[in-house]
Each structure stands twice: as C-alpha cells, then as structure tokens.
Homo-oligomer: A and B are copies of this chain.
Amino acid sequence: FHGDARGLAVVHDLLVSLEEVFSGCTKHIKISRSRLNPDGRSVRSEDKVLDVVVKKGWRAGTKITFPCEGDETPNNTPADVTFVLRDKKHTQYKRDGSNIVYTAKITLKEALCGCTVNVPTLDNRMMPLPSSDIIKPGSIRRLRGEGLPLPKSPVQRGDLVVEFQVLFPDRIPPQSREIIKHSLAKC
C-alpha cells in the first residue's frame, strides 16, 4: 500500500429479468482484476467470481458494491467494484416501479360486446379477466397484488396493470357498415 491513491472506480451494469426481480436471485459474475505480486512492483491478472445478491423487488439503479475488488497497482490501492441494476426488456410486461403493465390486445367486437381476456401472471398462471362492459381503447384494469414485491416490504406486491389496446378491422363490408351506423346512431 503506497499512499492513499485509489484506482479508478469500476462500475458494471447488471441486467436482471422481471422474473429474477420477482423471486430475488444471486448472480455469479466473473471479474478480472490486477493484483500486486509479493515484490510490490509487478502485477498479475486474476479472475474472481463475485456473488451478487439481488433482493426481491429491487429497482433499476440499485447499487451493489464490493469493496476493494478493483485493480491493484504499485501506486494504487484497489477501488470498489459496483454493480448497477438494470431491467432486462421483457416480452410481455413493461415495468412501472413495483407495478407491471401488460397490454391486452382485443378486437373491436370484443371491446364492444364483452369478452374474457386471459392475463399471464409473473408466476406463470393465466388469470381470466371477464368484462361485460364496453372496453375503451387505452383503459386499464388492475390485478391487485400481482405485480413485483415492494423492495422495502417484499411480502407486499404491486399490481399487474392490464392496458387494453383495441384492434380495429381493416375493412367492414358496406352492408355491415350501414347496419352498424344505424345501431350506433343513438350512442
């Protein structure tokens, strides 16, 4: 240890999936860093596996720091290695804090005449969400407690927010169109 100069701080992004945030996980990350040889002047490169614990519900931006795991040189004491959580893109949900947002695509007929949407949950169930009312484009319904664990109180969970997207037909035959026109005349 030659003075109190420290090496450059090492910061890595750590991508986690929503499933990993849901259950919590430990990621084994191999890092490569230099260590001083006994002669105090030359350095060797060394691999080390760090066990990064990601707790339930942790948010993007959360930092996990391993003290003094950075490069060591004759002039520097090793810096800390820090991992910063980032959310991996999910095929089905968008994350919104402790809520997750699912876009349910329904047809115009389903939106107007009622339907049951099957909503996939984070733990691989299908929750039927029946609706007999008209579903307006962009409207939402909440499945309370089906979101991610709250980081500060992981027994509680956020919501699964279902946002409806209404798919219109490309074309309606002229005859049907006239009928619809009359049916909607007083609406």
Contacts and interface: CB of A to CB of B under 8 A. Distances in A.
Interface in A164-183: 166, 168-173, 176-177, 179-181, 183
A136 B166 CA distance: 9
Interface stretch (A1-9, A76-84, A104-112): A104-112
How many copies the complex holds: the figure is: 2
Interface residues of A, number: 27
A187 interface: yes
Interface of A: 107-109, 111-113, 134, 136-138, 166, 168-173, 176-177, 179-181, 183-187
Given A134-B170, A137-B168, A172-B112, A183 B184 contact: no
Contact of A180 (B137, B138, B183): B183
Contacts of A184: 107-109, 112-113, 169, 172, 176, 180
A183 to B, nearest CB: 4
Indicate the member of A108, A172, A179 with the most B CB atoms within 10 Å.
A108
Contact of A171 (B113, B134, B171, B179): B134
A168 B177 CA distance: 17
A76 B186 CA distance: 73
